[in-house]
Chains A and B, each alone.
Chain A
Amino acid sequence: GENVEQHPSTLSVQEGDSAVIKCTYSDSASNYFPWYKQELGKRPQLIIDIRSNVGEKKDQRIAVTLNKTAKHFSLHITETQPEDSAVYFCAANLVDTDKLIFGTGTRLQVFP
């Protein structure tokens, strides 16, 4: 079936370093790719999303890149801070069913 693969499952970085999380999707018709952040004990919250008509989108320290040919997209966090520590989920939509398929999540730890 259609799925979204996400790597790595865990990521540890030093404060100030960059973090990159990658996702691969299988439905070539997918055109909406959101990223969610879930802090411990809290609900997932959208941090950034991208649609297939652009290749990159940036919001302050967060950026997402999309490669439609290779069917993968990535989240980039620069100048990481301890409060960036959380689980990050990527997702891609299935156009024919209007469903969002989520990746398995990446636990990011930022050490001071």
Chain B
Amino acid sequence: ETGVTQTPRHLVMGMTNKKSLKCEQHLGHNAMYWYKQSAKKPLELMFVYSLEERVENNSVPSRFSPECPNSSHLFLHLHTLQPEDSALYLCASSQVRGRSPLHFGNGTRLTVT
């Protein structure tokens, strides 16, 4: 039990599909994150929610849309993705934003065809 649970573990979708990634944390943390992990690149921060308030990240394309209905749940809604969006998407949580350890989920391996 990692404390941070992500579903699904694997997802294959076409460029015209709409899908959602789900993340749930059972640690009582105040901050939740979406990261993108691609081969030979640093972990890229996509979105941060702190106390359910979103911290904007202007470099993320609008085809990625986050949602945080409460402090334990985080979603990433996907639509009209591109093949270059194929990657491992990791959810994480921490007690304090930016200054305490991140607890990662197992990730969703996304393939866009």
Contacts and interface: CB of A to CB of B under 8 A. Distances in A.
Given A44-B90, A99-B45, A32 B104 contact: no
Nearest to A34: B101
Contacts of A101: 42
B90 A104 contact: no
Contacts of B48: 98-99
Contact of A98 (B2, B98, B103): B98
Interface in A53-112: 89, 93-94, 97-105
Contacts, number: 51
Contacts of A89: 42-43
A43 B107 contact: yes
A99 B42 CA distance: 14
B106 interface: yes
B98 A97 contact: yes
Interface in B1-31: 2
B66 interface: no
Given A43-B104, A43-B105, A44-B104, A102 B43 contact: yes
B98 A94 contact: yes
A93 B98 contact: yes
A31 B96 CA distance: 14
B102 interface: yes
B40 A104 contact: yes
Interface of B: 2, 40-43, 45, 48, 50, 55, 90, 97-107
Closest 9 CB pairs of A and B: A98-B98, A43-B104, A102-B43, A102-B42, A46-B101, A98-B97, A93-B98, A43-B106, A104-B42
